[in-house]
Chains A and B, each alone.
Chain A
Amino acid sequence: MSAALSVWVKGFGLWAPGAADWHAFRDIVTGGATPTATERPMADALPPNERRRAPESVLLAVAVAGQAVHMSGLDAATLPCVFASAHGDQVITDYMCDTLARAPTELSPTRFHNSVHNAPAGYWTIATHCHASSSAISGGEDVFGAGLLEAATLAVADDRDVLLASYDIAGTGPLGDMTSTTGPFAAALVLSPRADGAAIRLDITPEPGNSGSEAMGDPWLDGVAASNPSARSIPLMRALALARPTALRLPAAHGLDLHIDVEVAA
Chain B
Amino acid sequence: MPHPMPPLAIRAYTATSALGCGLRAHADALAASRGGLSPNNFSVAPLDCWIGRVAGVEEEPLPAGLSDWDCRNNRLAWLALRQDGFTDAVHATRERYGSGRVAVLLGTSTASIGATEEGYRRLDHGRMPADLHRPVLHTPHSLAGFVAAAFELEGPCLTVATACSSSAKVFANAERMIRLGLVDAAIVGGTDSLCDSVLFGFNSLELVSPDPCRPFDARRNGISIGEAAGFAILERVTEPNDAPLLIGYGEASDAHHMSTPHPEGLGAELALRDALARAGIAPGDVDYINLHGTASQKNDEVEAALIARTFPTHTRASSTKGFTGHTLGAAGILETVLTLLAMRDGRVPGNLGANEPDPLCGPQMAWQPETRDIRIALSNSFGFGGNNACLAFAHAGHAA
The chain A residues found within 8 Å of chain B, CB to CB, are 4-5, 77, 80, 86-88, 93, 96-98, 100-101, 104-105, 107-109, 112-119, 121-123, 125-126, 128-140, 142-143, 146, 149-150, 153-154, 156-158, 174-175, 177-180, 206, 208, 252-256
Contacts and interface: CB of A to CB of B under 8 A. Distances in A.
Given A122-B385, A126-B256, A256-B154, A138 B266 contact: no
Contacts of A179: 135, 138-139
A175 B197 CA distance: 15
B204 interface: yes
Given A121-B162, A179-B138, A253-B155, A97 B119 contact: yes
24 contacts: A77-B255, A86-B141, A100-B117, A101-B123, A107-B204, A109-B204, A109-B206, A112-B202, A118-B387, A119-B385, A121-B162, A122-B385, A126-B254, A132-B253, A133-B172, A133-B253, A135-B160, A135-B162, A143-B141, A154-B176, A158-B2, A179-B139, A254-B145, A256-B100
Nearest to B134: A178
Which of B137, B149, B202 is most buried by chain A, counting CB atoms within 10 A of its CB? B202
B157 A122 contact: no
B182 A206 contact: yes
A139 B157 contact: yes
A150 B256 CA distance: 25
Contact of A140 (B113, B145, B160, B177): B145
A118 B163 contact: yes
Contacts of A113: 201, 205, 258-259, 384
A61 to B, nearest CB: 13
Nearest to B169: A135
A122 B123 contact: no
B258 A206 contact: no
A53 to B, nearest CB: 11
Contacts of A126: 254-258, 386
B387 A122 contact: yes
Nearest to B201: A112
Judged by DSSP, the binding face of B is mixed
Which 10 A-B pairs give the minimum distances between C-beta atoms? A122-B385, A255-B154, A133-B251, A117-B161, A112-B201, A140-B141, A157-B176, A253-B157, A97-B120, A109-B204
B309 interface: no
B127 A137 contact: no
Contacts of A77: 255
Given A112-B201, A153-B176, A87 B384 contact: no
Contact of A104 (B158, B196, B202): B196
Contacts of A122: 258, 384-387
Interface string B136-170: 11111100110011000011111111110000010
Given A87-B140, A118-B162, A138-B140, A125 B253 contact: yes
Interface string B26-44: 0000000000000000011
Given A101-B120, A177-B128, 5 more contacts: A93-B116, A131-B270, A146-B156, A206-B155, A253-B155
B126 interface: yes
A136 B110 CA distance: 13
B45 interface: yes
A42 B135 CA distance: 31
Given A133-B253, A208-B100, A121 B145 contact: no
Contacts of A128: 255
Given A96-B197, A118-B161, A121-B385, A112 B204 contact: yes
B156 A88 contact: no
B385 A116 contact: yes
Contacts, number: 231
A76 to B, nearest CB: 10
Nearest to A142: B157
A175 B259 contact: no
B179 interface: yes
B203 interface: yes
B158 A175 contact: no
A4 B270 CA distance: 30
Given A5-B180, A100-B117, A131-B267, A178 B128 contact: yes
Contacts of A104: 43-45, 196, 200
A202 B111 CA distance: 33
Nearest to A117: B161
Contacts of B145: 140, 254
Contact of A107 (B173, B201, B258): B201
A108 B121 contact: no
A177 B129 CA distance: 11
A88 B140 contact: yes
Nearest to B266: A131
B56 interface: no
A255 B120 contact: no
B383 interface: yes
B160 A137 contact: yes
Contact of B139 (A114, A138, A174): A138
A154 B202 CA distance: 32
B154 A254 contact: yes
B298 to A, nearest CB: 14
Contact of B255 (A4, A116, A129, A208): A129
A139 B384 contact: no
A153 B149 contact: no
B117 A101 contact: yes
B156 A100 contact: no
Contact of A117 (B128, B140, B169): B140
B253 A131 contact: yes
